[in-house]
């Protein structure tokens, strides 16, 4: 049985056949019985929010299993502010601060739930030991279980190829493995893999590297498995049905001449920042992740796909660029800067001309992969994924003003709450059926970002054309986005049209890094990349 949380206060069954439940049905009832009064003595700077923290101040039992309650809110502070369906009633705690009399505080206990099993979906997004999911599950599994029940089974699952650092697995292993000694051995093995990843590998070190990797594999293999097609894990289920492979075409575009000067200026700024980061590094180099903290690289990436936005940003520092400002600008299309400047940032850019052509063809049921033409008797509906809110806004305003005769354009931004998002998807899905039924030659184009709808939205199979409008930071984001269309319920051939700026060094750098998933400098496509010339990156 599955339930959703409605407004944070009610459990709503996903299926009508599921029994009605309230929070009281799944919450452990705990009674507090005061014995001798013990004051909590606070040191300067102490900030205590949870009952657990007060409890640990007066308890001699410092072991993890001695912690009585687990916090399963969405952040460290969620249970501290006020009582919720997931927490217990307020508890009276006596606090004695230095130089004052004891005072009574009311403290909210952490969540009181006791599951027999826990399943975490989209686990590739749970990075780091202190990730909120890992933190909550660890607390539940290490406490003394109520009613002497066994600790819960924990399942981590992801349909996306794993793309994490080796040490990110330590948080999962700590939950799965109760033996502290084995957990420490696992930590050391993962840290050794990370050290190998960070150093240059030469032929004489290949044997050492292989030994390190095999040692890590021996630790991981007993508890991790990958599902191949036809795997017995899901044999007989409808998920094991094989969909026809999607068709993918790469469309390359150059930066138009009128924006080349602005582009070269951004490249030079990025080079200077990279050089400064290199010299500031104690190791004489920097990891790839260093790029994303550089303002110039961020600007270069955000504008990579729509270089016509750079002059607008240079001329007006208040031009909406980040998510909050972009959403505010698009909330009033009559006064929107994106709508007002469509001609300025599209200009003679062949990429936007091609985008319009693709949408016009889709409205006629046609999509082209090179010289091969695919056709359908009904219009094709399109899902456009942009990398950043700014480029999504640019695409949305362009399509709305240039393609309105043969397409209905919808924008789904990250500010849209999940219930509204579900409602919107249902509405446009119904609209797609009406267009097909009535023979109306119009496509629906849903414009969004990888962050807003790249995962979790499983009702988008009415679309069968995806336009990748820029390169996300991680390759797994592309795979997740494609899976929104290429999944159970898809009745038509899926087409992926991958737009890329072949002369944009920042986008090429991220794209090649995503494709290789390894050392970036070994790829010949980066041999002339101006961002990397003479830089000791590793």
Give the integer Cα–Cα distance in Å for 511 and 161: 17
189 CB neighbour count, 10 Å cutoff: 22
Domains of the chain, with CATH numbers? Answer: 3-107 (no CATH), 117-240 (no CATH), 247-526 (3.40.50.300)
Give the integer Cα–Cα distance in Å for 529 and 538: 15
Alpha helix positions (H), 332-379: 337-340, 342-346, 350-363
Give the integer Cα–Cα distance in Å for 54 and 50: 7
Give the integer Cα–Cα distance in Å for 484 and 381: 13
- Indicate the pairing of strand 382-386 with strand 443-449: parallel
144-159: b (≥16 Cβ within 10 Å) or e? eeeeeeeebebebebb
CB 497 within 8 A of CB 461: no
Give the integer Cα–Cα distance in Å for 29 and 164: 39
| pLDDT tens track, the chain, 538 positions | 777 777 656 788 888 888 888 777 766 665 555 555 666 666 666 666 555 566 666 555 444 444 443 333 333 333 333 445 555 566 666 666 667 777 776 665 655 667 788 887 777 667 666 666 777 777 777 766 766 778 888 887 776 555 566 777 777 777 777 778 888 888 888 888 877 766 654 445 566 777 877 877 777 777 776 655 544 444 444 444 567 889 999 999 998 999 888 888 888 888 888 888 777 765 555 565 666 677 777 777 777 789 899 889 888 988 998 889 999 999 999 999 999 999 999 988 999 999 999 999 999 999 999 899 999 999 999 999 999 999 999 999 999 999 999 999 999 988 888 778 888 999 999 999 999 999 999 999 999 999 888 877 888 999 999 999 988 877 778 888 998 999 888 889 999 999 998 888 878 877 877 776 544 444 455 555 555 555 444 3
Single out the residue of 357, 249, 256, 248 nearest to residue 306, CA to CA: 256
Q: What was the pLDDT predicted at 180?
A: 80
CB 50 within 8 A of CB 109: yes
Single out the residue of 62, 57, 66 nearest to residue 94, CA to CA: 57
Q: Cβ contacts of residue 238 below 8 Å, gap of 6+?
A: 488
Full-prediction pTM beyond 0.75?
A: no
**The token pair that represents 413 in the structure block:** 């931004």
CB 463 within 8 A of CB 446: yes
Q: What was the pLDDT predicted at 520?
A: 44
Q: What was the pLDDT predicted at 80?
A: 35
Single out the residue of 151, 246, 281 nearest to residue 483, CA to CA: 246
97 CB neighbour count, 10 Å cutoff: 15
**The token pair that represents 286 in the structure block:** 């920097």
């Amino acid at each position: 049985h599955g339930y959703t949380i409605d407004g944070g206060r009610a459990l709503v069954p996903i299926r009508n056949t599921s029994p009605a439940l309230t929070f009281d049905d799944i919450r452990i009832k705990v009674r507090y019985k005061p014995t001798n009064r013990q004051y909590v003595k606070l040191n300067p700077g102490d900030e205590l929010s949870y009952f657990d923290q007060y409890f640990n101040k007066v308890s001699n039992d410092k072991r993890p299993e001695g912690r009585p309650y687990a916090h399963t809110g969405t952040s460290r502070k969620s249970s501290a502010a006020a009582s919720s369906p997931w927490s217990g009633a307020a508890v009276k705690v006596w606090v004695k601060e230095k130089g004052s009399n004891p005072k009574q505080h009311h403290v909210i206990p952490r969540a009181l739930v006791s599951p027999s099993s826990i399943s975490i979906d989209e686990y590739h997004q749970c990075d780091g030991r202190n990730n909120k999911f890992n933190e909550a599950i660890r607390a539940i599994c290490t406490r003394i279980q109520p009613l002497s029940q066994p600790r819960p089974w924990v399942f981590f699952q992801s349909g996306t190829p794993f793309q994490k650092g080796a040490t990110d697995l330590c948080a999962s292993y700590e939950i799965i493995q109760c033996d502290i000694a084995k957990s420490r051995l696992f930590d050391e093995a993962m840290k050794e893999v990370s050290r190998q990843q960070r150093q240059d590998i030469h032929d004489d070190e290949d044997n050492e590297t292989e030994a390190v990797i095999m040692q890590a594999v021996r630790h991981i293999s007993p508890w991790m498995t990958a599902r191949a097609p036809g795997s017995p894990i899901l044999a007989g289920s409808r998920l094991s049905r094989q969909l026809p492979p999607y068709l993918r075409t790469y469309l390359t575009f150059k930066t138009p001449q009128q924006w080349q000067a602005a582009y070269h200026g951004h490249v030079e700024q990025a080079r200077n920042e990279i050089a400064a980061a290199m010299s500031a590094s104690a190791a004489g180099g920097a990891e790839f992740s260093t790029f994303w903290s550089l303002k110039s690289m961020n600007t270069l990436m955000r504008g990579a796909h729509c270089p016509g936005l750079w002059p607008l940003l240079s001329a007006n520092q208040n031009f909406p660029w980040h998510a909050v400002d972009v959403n505010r600008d698009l909330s009033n299309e009559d006064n929107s800067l994106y709508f007002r400047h469509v001609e300025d940032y599209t200009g003679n850019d062949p990429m936007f001309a091609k985008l319009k052509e693709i949408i016009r063809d889709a409205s006629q049921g046609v999509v082209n992969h090179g010289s091969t033409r695919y056709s359908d008797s009904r219009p094709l509906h399109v899902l456009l994924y942009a990398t950043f809110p700014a480029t999504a806004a640019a695409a949305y305003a362009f399509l709305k003003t240039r393609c309105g005769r043969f397409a209905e354009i919808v924008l789904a931004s990250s500010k849209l709450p999940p219930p509204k998002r579900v409602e919107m998807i249902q509405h446009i899905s119904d609209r797609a059926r009406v267009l097909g039924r009535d023979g109306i030659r119009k496509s629906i184009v849903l414009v969004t970002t990888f962050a807003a709808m790249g995962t979790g939205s499983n009702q988008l199979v009415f679309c069968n054309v995806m336009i990748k409008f820029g390169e996300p930071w991680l390759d797994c984001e592309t795979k997740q986005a494609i899976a929104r269309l290429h999944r159970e319920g898809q009745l038509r051939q899926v087409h992926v049209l991958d737009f890329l700026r072949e002369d944009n060094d920042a986008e090429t750098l991220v794209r090649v890094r995503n494709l290789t998933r390894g050392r970036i400098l070994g790829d010949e496509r980066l041999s002339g990349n101006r961002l990397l010339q003479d830089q000791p990156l590793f």
